[in-house]
Amino acid sequence: MVKEKTKPKQFVTDSNIPVKPVYYGQTKNSKKDEPGKYPFTRGIHPGMYRDRLWTMRQYSGFGDAAQTNKRYRYMLENGQTGLSMAFDLPTQIGHDPDSSYAEGEVGKVGVSIASLKDMQTVFNGINLGKVSTSMTINATASTLLAYYIAVGKLQGISSNNLRGTTQNDILKEYIARNTYIYPPQPSMRLIGDMIGYCAKHVPQWYPISISGYHMREAGSTAVQEIAFTIANAIEYIQTCIDRGLKIDDFAPRLSFFFCCTIEFFEEIAKFRVARKVYAKILKERFHAKNPKSLQLRFHTQTSGESLTAQQPDNNIVRVAIQAMAAALGGTQSLHTNSKDEALALPTQEAAKIALRTQQIIGYESGITKTIDPMAGSHYIESLCDQIEEQTWNYLKKIDKMGGALKAIEKGFFQSEIRQNAYRLKKEVDDNERTLVGVNKFSEESEKKHDLLRIDDSLGKKQEKAIKQIRKSRDNKKTEYALSKMQKASETDENLMPFILDSVLAYATTGEISNTFREVFGEYRPKEVF
**Residue numbers of the domain that contains 207:** 51-429
Q: What is the pLDDT of residue 31?
A: 62
**Mean pLDDT, all residues of the chain:** 93
Alpha-carbon distances, residue 375 vs 260, 330, 342 (angstroms): 19, 12, 35
Residue 205 neighbours by CB under 8 Å, 6+ apart? 145, 162, 163, 164, 165, 166, 198, 253
- Is residue 145 situated within a structural domain? yes
Mean pLDDT of 489-518: 98
- Is residue 21 situated within a structural domain? no
Q: How far apart are the first and last CA of the chain?
A: 47
Distance CA 254, CA 207 (A): 7
- Is residue 417 situated within a structural domain? yes
Q: In this predicted model, what pLDDT tens digit does every residue of 122-174 receive, in sequence order? A: 999 999 999 999 999 999 999 999 999 999 999 999 999 999 999 999 999 99
Residue 347: give its domain's CATH number.
3.20.20.240
Q: Is 375 left (phi over 0), alpha (psi -120 to 50) or beta?
A: beta
- Is residue 41 situated within a structural domain? no
Mean pLDDT of 281-290: 98
Nearest CA among 325, 183, 172 for reference residue 257: 172
Q: What is the pLDDT of residue 444?
A: 82
Mean pLDDT of 389-408: 97
Kindly tell me if the per-residue pLDDT of 110 is higher than 70: yes
Q: For residue 39, say if its preceding peptide bond is cis, omega within 30 degrees of 0.
A: yes
The C-alpha angle with vertex 516 and arms to 509 and 246, in degrees rounded to 5, equals 100
Q: What is the pLDDT of residue 456?
A: 80
Kindly tell me if the per-residue pLDDT of 1 is higher than 70: no
Q: In what order do the strands lie in the sheet with 163-166?
A: 205-206, 163-166, 132-135, 82-85, 55-60, 333-335, 298-302, 254-260, 208-211
Q: In this predicted model, what pLDDT tens digit does every residue of 317-350 receive, in sequence order? A: 999 999 999 999 999 999 999 999 999 889 999 9
- Is residue 261 situated within a structural domain? yes
Q: What is the pLDDT of residue 470?
A: 96
Q: Answer for the pair 107, 459: CB distance below 8 angstroms, yes or no.
A: yes
Q: Answer for the pair 111, 137: CB distance below 8 angstroms, yes or no.
A: no
- Is residue 297 situated within a structural domain? yes
- Is residue 30 situated within a structural domain? no
Mean pLDDT of 406-431: 94
Residue 437 neighbours by CB under 8 Å, 6+ apart? 308, 310, 311, 314, 443
Mean pLDDT of 503-516: 98
Q: How many percent of the chain have pLDDT more than 70?
A: 97
Q: In this predicted model, what pLDDT tens digit does every residue of 190-227 receive, in sequence order? A: 999 999 999 999 999 999 999 999 999 999 999 999 99
Kindly tell me if the per-residue pLDDT of 20 is higher than 90: no
Q: How many domains does the chain have?
A: 1
Mean pLDDT of 397-410: 95
- Is residue 415 situated within a structural domain? yes
Q: What is the pLDDT of residue 354?
A: 96
In the three-class reduction of DSSP (H, G, I as helix; E, B as strand; rest coil), residue 68 is classed as helix
Kindly tell me if the per-residue pLDDT of 295 is higher than 90: yes
Distance CA 131, CA 142 (A): 20
Count of residues in the chain: 529
